[in-house]
Structure 1
Amino acid sequence: MKLLLSLALTAALFSAPAFAQAPGSTGLGVVIGSPNGLTGRHWINEESSIEGSLGWALSGSRFQVNVNYLFNKMNLIPIGDESLDLFFGGGLSLRTKSGKQDGEVVFGPRVPVGVSYTFANPNLEVFAQVALNIGIIPSSDIYADGNLGARFYF
């Protein structure tokens, strides 16, 4: 069951590029924080996107996969020809625990919020994100995580 959940979330994260509608609507990149690893984002329209990340959290040595549906408030703070944008939404998180419960897999909802800035040329997005994660399976816990990242759009 644990392996099935992990594979399902990973497939959801990386299947987004298959639905790309136009050049520049799908981005791939890296994140630093919790987790450290890979990230992807696919724009469904100008106001919504699907975003995810997978990687390894150095604190506690744990693996983590996140998939989110995001609402986007564009042009929050104009900066020259570009702007700082706000995003927020809901999603799912799957992670392994460390310490006394080493290897236990925790699954549950998450609520991310962040800001992003997209450069027109090259088509590069930089962002900062924090999220509240609620573990519900197999036991309950609440934790926060955050990361900085960059994605190149193609």
Structure 2
Amino acid sequence: MKKLYVAALLFIALSGSMNYAQSKGFGLGVILGSPTGISAKYWTSGTNAFDFGLGYSFEKKSRMHLHGDYLFHSSDMFKTSENIALYYGPGLRLKFREDDDARVGFRGVLGLVWIPRGSKVDVFIEIAPIMDLIPATEFSMNGGIGFRFFFN
């Protein structure tokens, strides 16, 4: 039942009209990895954005993951005709585990994003070290690959 609910939510979220993927606007898509789920991005300027993720694990012990990051983008590192940028930034993570306490911590994200010229999508890959502080100090890593469609 949980899988059906998540699949329906993803379908609804991705089935709207799309106009372009640029360094502006709001995008919604999918991230595959740890966690797997929905990825959203809202550009605040040509180089900065807020990034949000909502993921769910269907493993033995179910868990839900929510994160929010503030991203800085740098396209000066790559000498290419493609629109590729390095991004990085600080964030927060909240994780709920079945039959366990919620965890709250800081995360840092480092990734690459490709925004094909004239396209409606961006494609990204990222890693994120996490330091949980509540209820106990614990280090972990997240990472994934994904894409987002951008709306008006």
Q: State TM-score, norm by structure 1.
A: 0.76
Aligned to 1:25: 25
> CA-to-partner distance for each residue in 1:63-92, whole Å, 9 max, x for gaps?
100100011102432443x22210000010
Q: Kindly indicate whether residue 83 of structure 2 is the aligned counterpart of residue 83 of structure 1.
A: yes
Q: Say whether residues 1:47 and 2:47 are aligned partners.
A: yes
State the shift of 1:55 in Å: 1.1
Match of 1:70 in 2: 71
Letter in 2 for 1:151: R
- Larger relative helix fraction: 1
Specify the code of the residue in structure 2 equivalent to 1:148. I
Measured at CA, do residues 23 and 140 of structure 1 come closer, stay the same or move farther in structure 2, by a change above 3 Å?
closer
Q: Amino acid of the residue matched to residue 133 of structure 1? A: I
Deviates more, 1:140-149 or 1:53-62: 53-62
> Would you say how many aligned residue pairs link Structure 1 and Structure 2?
129
On the 8 A contact 2:129/2:142 being kept in 1, the answer is yes
Return closer, same or farther for 1:122/1:128 CA change in 2, 3 Å cut-off: same
Gaps of 5+ in 1: 1-21
Amino acid at match of 2:48: S
| Alpha-carbon contact 1:78-1:84 (below 8 Å) kept | no
Aligned residue in 2 for 1:114:
111
1:57 is matched with: 57
For residues 58 and 113 of structure 1, the distance between their equivalents in structure 2, rounded to whole angstroms, comes to 26
Distance in 1 (CA, whole Å) between partners of 2:43 and 2:118 is 18
Q: Please say if residues 23 and 47 of structure 2, whose CA atoms lie closer than 8 Å, have aligned partners that are also in contact.
A: no
In structure 1, give the amino acid aligned to 2:103: V
- Give yes or no for the alignment of 1:138 onto 2:139: no
Q: Distance in 2 between matches of 1:23 and 1:86?
A: 13
Distance 1:65 1:97, change over 3 A: same
Which protein has greater RCO, CA pairs closer than 8 Å, 6+ apart?
A: 2
| Structure 1 residue 153 displacement after superposition | 1.1
Select which of 140, 149, 152 maps to 1:152: 149
Task: Check conservation: 2:65, 2:95, Cα contact below 8 A.
Answer: yes
CA positional deviation for 1:96: 2.1
5+ residue gaps in structure 2? 1-21
Query: In structure 1, what is the equivalent of residue 122 of structure 2?
Result: 125
In angstroms, what is the RMSD of aligned CA positions? 2.0
Residue equivalent to 2:94:
94
